[in-house]
Structure 1
Amino acid sequence: MKSEEGKRYALLLAAADSEYAKKVYGGYFNVFVGAFGEEGQTWDLYRVVEGEFPNMEELDKYHGFVVSGSPYDAYGNDMWILKLCYLLQILDAMQKKVLGICFGHQVLCRALGGRVGKADGGWDIGLRKVMMVEDMPPCKFLDGLEDIPPCVSIIECHQDEVWEVPPGAEVIAISEKTGVEMFTIGDHMLGIQGHPEYTKDILCNLIDRLLINNSIEVGFANDAKATLEAGEPCREFWEKICKSFLKGDNS
């Protein structure tokens, strides 16, 4: 196992911190580093949703990047979203590790030539079972993981989805609700539609906020919360996947 000492990572945060996340976790940055970070690593925060981006000449000092979820549409044309797409194209050309989560998964797809949009089935919120595809393409970050289950639970919260993966991408997981739950491009790009970093309480608070601003209805919110009461997300499995991907080499 190679040491993580000296490896540097950047979180590209595409959402403002909720009051709950700030109060309980000190912000989403701590949620992500707590889930994906390891001893010896250095993590930096760039609030891309506020127009804060790493300088181009600094990109090479990072071993990997994580793009967070967001309330914004990955197919939107806000200036920061277009700038993020350009950055992701640069990182792809540099063969840098990029992990996209939810919105990050979708914007990564868009930036590299895929298609994203509103999900035909509407919102997907709660605990959902994700199936790994049967003919799994070779994935270096899965090599060290033993007994990969065919079906794993993850927390979901999205109303957009990947319609078509970019050229050269491989779909590696699906669900009954969403056709592209995970995709890879080579060994340097990984998109995950669900939220491996989320805890149940984070999602419950988010459901309450969506209810308050009339984004979802009471019955739907109750059904979503019921899925959380009925099972547990496989957080350990997802964190292992994300950590293995981020710290791996592309060679």
Structure 2
Amino acid sequence: MVTAGDQEMVSGEKKRYCMLMAARDSEYVKKVYGGYFNVFLKAFAEEGEEWDLFNVVDGEFPDMDELYKYHGFVISGSPYDAYGNELWILKLCFLLQTLDAMEKKVIGICFGHQVLCRALGGKVGKANDGWDLGLRKISIVEDLPLCSLFGVLEEIPPSLTIIECHQDEVWEVPLGAEVIAFSEQTGVEMFVIGDHILGIQGHPEYTKDILSNIIDRLANNNSVQKEFAEDAKSRLEINGEPDRKSWEKICKNFLKGVVITPPY
């Protein structure tokens, strides 16, 4: 386990969060950012918080008796399939079922979004339209069931742009879940369960250079055709920037314990 943050809050209480890392650091991210953990900290962490890192991909998990100490949890993306039966994925599913029963705040990103869905009774699998690599405009549903999810924004936007990097998708959300965003390529871009579970298919934490490096690695190991990779990188260069600031606000708003109530 790695711990980040040792500064006490003004009240004397330290808010504590848990990062469940389902991917190993690439050489590029280690060199430029010091690891994916730092990428997430920059996007989601605030002064006075403590963040603990568990590399679940390597079988490292928080003690079940310590879960109550955390204010929230984040599950990263991963090159693994969320519907796979590797031991660590099955153990992660059990952990997520426990967190749901405890009504702990949980945000799942990409693989995390998909494995949350699987663990809580939904269905995931290969995307019908294949790889989605690049910037994607996702549409926010009207009359959001939990509109204060966007309470830190001036208004609820009809759409937001996010970086996508996946070949799997959610086929069917769990019972009780509500889809709150979709795109032309993916039917479930975001879903919520109550006020404690949030799944996001895209990567609010990614920068364009991180994705560009991933595309290169996918082409080099023949996971995607080189022509497809070149086209994806070309589109990435001309399609502007993702709405990272808005995504960071949304994730922080959800994770940090903002009370969310229906709009009626």
Aligned counterpart, 2:4: none
Aligned counterpart, 1:171: 179
SS at 1:82 equivalent: helix
The alignment of Structure 1 onto Structure 2 pairs a total of residues equal to 250
SS at 2:37 equivalent: helix
Distance in 1 of aligned mates of 2:133 and 2:43: 20
Deviations 1:16-66 (A, max 9, x none): 110111111110000001101111110010000000000001100000000
SS at 2:169 equivalent: strand
Change (3 A) 1:226 1:53: same
Say which of 147, 158, 163 aligns to 2:155: 147
Structure 2: unaligned runs, 5 residues or longer: 1-8
1:127 aligns with 2:131: no
Distance in 2 of aligned mates of 1:54 and 1:124: 32
Could you tell me whether the CA contact under 8 Å between 2:153 and 2:246 is conserved in 1?
no
Say which of 234, 243, 246 aligns to 1:237: 246
Aligned counterpart, 2:104: 96
Structure 1: unaligned runs, 5 residues or longer: none
Distance in 2 of aligned mates of 1:35 and 1:183: 20
TM-score normalized by the length of structure 1: 0.96
TM alignment of 1:75-224, pairs within 5 A:
75-224=83-232
Percent identity (aligned): 72
SS at 1:196 equivalent: coil
Distance in 2 of aligned mates of 1:229 and 1:26: 24
Deviations 1:131-180 (A, max 9, x none): 00123212443233222221111000000000000000010000000000
Q: CA RMSD in A?
A: 1.5
Distance in 2 of aligned mates of 1:139 and 1:12: 27
Could you tell me whether the CA contact under 8 Å between 1:95 and 1:250 is conserved in 2?
no
Deviations 1:43-100 (A, max 9, x none): 0100000000000011000000000000000000000000000000000000000000
Could you tell me whether the CA contact under 8 Å between 2:77 and 2:111 is conserved in 1?
yes
